[in-house]
Amino acid sequence: GENVEQHPSTLSVQEGDSAVIKCTYSDSASNYFPWYKQELGKGPQLIIDIRSNVGEKKDQRIAVTLNKTAKHFSLHITETQPEDSAVYFCAAAINTGTASKLTFGTGTRLQVML
């Protein structure tokens, strides 16, 4: 089955700096890669996703890149703000047109310091 690794497990940055979180996946058939933000005591929220037919996607301060050959994808957050502090999870799935299972990474706890 799919295996997703995520690094780093914790990340501290100064407000205004950039944060990068990296994930690798094992199943070359995976074609959908969402990123979730989870605040304490809450469910995960989708913040951005990318499909295997594109290499990069950007939404304001958040961007995701995908390297299918190397089987890794990364989340980039620019101009970090204190409210970006949370746990971030990457995930991978094989989308075949019907609902598909997500395999999650182990999570990255991001702390943005004032």
Partner 1 sequence: GAVVSQHPSRVICKSGTSVKIECRSLDFQATTMFWYRQFPKQSLMLMATSNEGSKATYEQGVEKDKFLINHASLTLSTLTVTSAHPEDSSFYICSASHRGQGVNEQFFGPGTRLTVL
Residues binding partner 1 (CB under 8 A): 32, 34, 36, 41-46, 49, 51, 89, 95, 97-102, 104-107
Tell me the closest approach of the beta carbon of residue 105 to partner 1, in angstroms. 7
Written as one string, the DSSP assignment of 4-47 is: EEEE-SEEEEETTS-EEEEEEES-TT--EEEEEEE-TTS--EEE
Nearer to partner 1, 14 or 108 (CB): 108
Tell me the closest approach of the beta carbon of residue 42 to partner 1, in angstroms. 6
Q: In what order do the strands lie in the sheet with 72-77?
A: 4-7, 19-25, 72-77, 62-67, 56-59
Nearer to partner 1, 43 or 114 (CB): 43
Nearer to partner 1, 73 or 89 (CB): 89
